[in-house]
Each structure stands twice: as structure tokens, then as C-alpha cells.
Amino acid sequence: MELNHTHDASRRSWLDAANAADADFPLQNLPLGAFRRKASTEAWRGGVAIGDQIVDLAALQALPGLQDHVAGAVRAAAAPTLNGLLEQGPQAWRALRHGLFALLQDGSQLERRVREALVPQADAEHAVPVRIGDYTDFYTSLDHAVNCCRQFGIEVNPNFDWLPVGYHGRVSSIDVSGQQVYRPTGQYRSDQGSAPVYGPCQRLDYELEVGAVIGIGNARGTPIPLGKAQQHIFGLCLLNDWSARDIQTWEMPPLGPFLAKNFATTLSPWIVTLEALLPYRQSWMRVPDRPQPLDYLHAPDNAAHGAFDIRLEASILSARQLAQGRMPRTLTHTSFRHQYWTLGQMIAHHTVGGCNLQPGDLLGSGTVSGPTPGEAGALIELTVSGTQPVDIGDGEQRGFLEDGDTVVFRGWCERDGFARIGFGLNYATVVAARAF
């Protein structure tokens, strides 16, 4: 977990598209996903993003001269999901990254052979890159919690200061960027004195989140200590936790989200490895006037580099704007570094009772919001529950999402002296509720 030559910003690829200053996928990134060519019957297989191309790992298996440990990692990553690679552990993850770095670096003796294994990203479609066994979504932004609770005249629950609040989500409705999201149907109540009604959600929202993919798990009954928690993360992606606010308000007491959250979750197609993200970790601290974490949620390692400075943006593109070829207008610009609890603390708390995480499990960070109005990661905050609609451009406004709206998330990391790396796009489009 130390910086090495794969973080050197002066290293360049023989693929020109990977060397552009604003490229999401330079040589220093090398995120992994699952893909096949569009409109084909090809098998899904693992790939690595570089510039505007994908290294087809199934095709790369035949490359001569790969060291045994690199060849083994390539074989595991070439499968339809990355779970086999995750199970091999950090040494295999590192071997794959360092082996690919050498193959893609300017001056590689195998450039011609590797070029034969490239597929243009424009020609590819994607699948969820891991087989997800369990999904836990957290609620860990103090700014988000305060903004939401203030609207209802209530205080943030006292437990928010003491533990990362979370709930278990639904795996079957998780899909990859490009997903169609059917407007959910359920019960909601228009005012406190009326009976609930049944119908399509009227207050559909997004939540801008970071997803963490577990690489190695823990034995049941054996908690993961905070000081070692980051070692269990394979990588991060962008996550949209779609939310039906009217259904959520009615169903939440006393057990929490159910229909309001189980209809869709959208992931970006590329998992950026934790090794690629090492330069963008930051120190974490709790502001002095708030309660400090209990001992099991405090560790020097977490204080030194428990936070990640991942820049995040959220945009909405209406159906009319899309038809006219418009670009989406950014509504939110924030950073994951603002989160009140770190990913390590989420993992430590998740396992402290004996829960066993497994390779491929997914954790959602909860909505990422910052301290200023333009850093709110959900419409319920940006529009004050729809009472102050936001301008999405071309004379259109939104309090909540309408059918035909496409929600677009972007994420990237940048720091002086290091290459900018990105996560690619996470986008999905709202479609009308399906009738019985």
C-alpha cells in the first residue's frame, strides 16, 4: 500500500489517447470491468480501460512471455466476472496492474501484440463487473443528514455521531451504467391527515455515491480492525442509489427503506483499484465540537489517510435536451473527502458483530454532499424537497425527476505531481412505471 512507479506521472503509454491531460484512463489508472462488443453474442470477459480503448484480457491470455504470476492474474481477470481475481488477493491484483503497466508503457517490446488485443470503448457494452453476493448502503454524510432533517424540523439522530448508519440493499436490481430505471410504484401519503394512496412515485430522486467493492473477506465471527480495513477493498466505482422520496417517507418508520430503494441501483462500468487511488488519499479527522469515535472506530492509519479526494459531479439531461444533442448541465460538484465516516470505518463497523464480508460484496457510501449548497448530492437537498426547483438548462426546471430524464455522474481524482485519473460515466434514464 505504498506509492510506486505505477503512480509516476512522467510515465507515458504508447497509446496516444491515454496521454491526454483530461483522459479518464491514463497509464496510471488501469481500471477493470466486464465487456463484450455491442450487439454481439460474444461471451462477457474482463477488460482494462486505457485511453479510448479496452485491453481484452481474454485475448491477452495468449501473449507469450508473461511471467507466471502475471499470467495467472490475467486468466482470472479474463473471466465473465472479476470474482476469481478478487479471491486471489492483493498479490494477484498488484501483479496484474504492474504487468499491464509494463505492457502498455511507451517502449514496451510487446506493443504490437498488445495492440491486437485492443477493443475501442465506443464498440463495447458493459456488464456489472463482479458477482455481488451482498450489498450494504450507508448513510454517512453529515451535510446530507443535516440538510434533509432541517426540512422536516427535526434533528439528526444522535447515533449518527457514533456509528456509520447502514441498511442491507437489494442485489437483483443492481445494473451497470446505461440502465433503464422504471419509475417505481408503491404507497405514499400526500399529507399527514390522509390515508395513503397507491400509484407511481411522484418524487423520484438520485443519490450521488461512491461504491466500494470488497476484495478479500473475513471469517464469520472475526471482525476486521480499522487499521487493516482498506486492505480488504479491491476498488471503487460511482454508484447511483435511486430513491423514491414519497414512498420512503411513508414506509421508513420503524425499520427503514424498502420499496423506496429496492427498484434500481446503477454502477459505473469500471472499478478503479485501490492501488491506483493511493495518491489521492487524505487525512481524516472529526471536527472537535462533535463526539469522537469509539476506540474500535479510531486508528492512526485511518486518521493519516482514511479519506479519498474524489471529485464528483451530478447532472440531469431531459429527453428534449437529449433529442436536441444538448450537453447536461452540472448541478452538483463535491468531493468524497467530506464524508463524516470513512470507508474503513464502515467496514470495521460492518464486521464488528461478526458479519463475514465476501469477495465481490458491494458497499455504498451513502449520499456524498458537501458543506455548500452546490455540493448537495441529491435533489431532495438541492430543491428543498421540490419547493425550489433547479434550472437544468434550456428553460427546464426540476424539483424531482421526470420520465425521460437521464442522470449523469462523473468522478475523477487530481493532485499536483500526479496524473489525473477518472471513473468514466455513470448514467441511467428514467422510464415510465410499468402497469400491471
**Measured CA distances, 35 to 30, 79, 180, 269 (Å):** 15, 10, 18, 9
Nearest to 368 by CA among 135, 141, 137: 141
Nearest to 184 by CA among 243, 250, 238: 243
The one-letter code for the residue type at 412 is W
CB 390 within 8 A of CB 170: no
What cell does 314 get? Answer: 451530478
Helix (H) or strand (E) holding 187: strand 185-188
Opening angle at CA 346, ends 24 and 407, nearest 5:
40
Sign of CA dihedral 114, 117, 120, 121: negative
Tally the residues of the chain: 436
**Measured CA distances, 219 to 70, 131, 295 (Å):** 28, 19, 22
To the query of whether residue 349 is one of the catalytic residues in this protein, the response is no
**Marked catalytic residue, from 126, 144, 232, 338:** 144
CB 346 within 8 A of CB 307: no
The answer, yes or no, to whether the previous bond of 253 is cis (omega within 30 of 0) is: no
- Which positions are annotated as active-site residues? 144
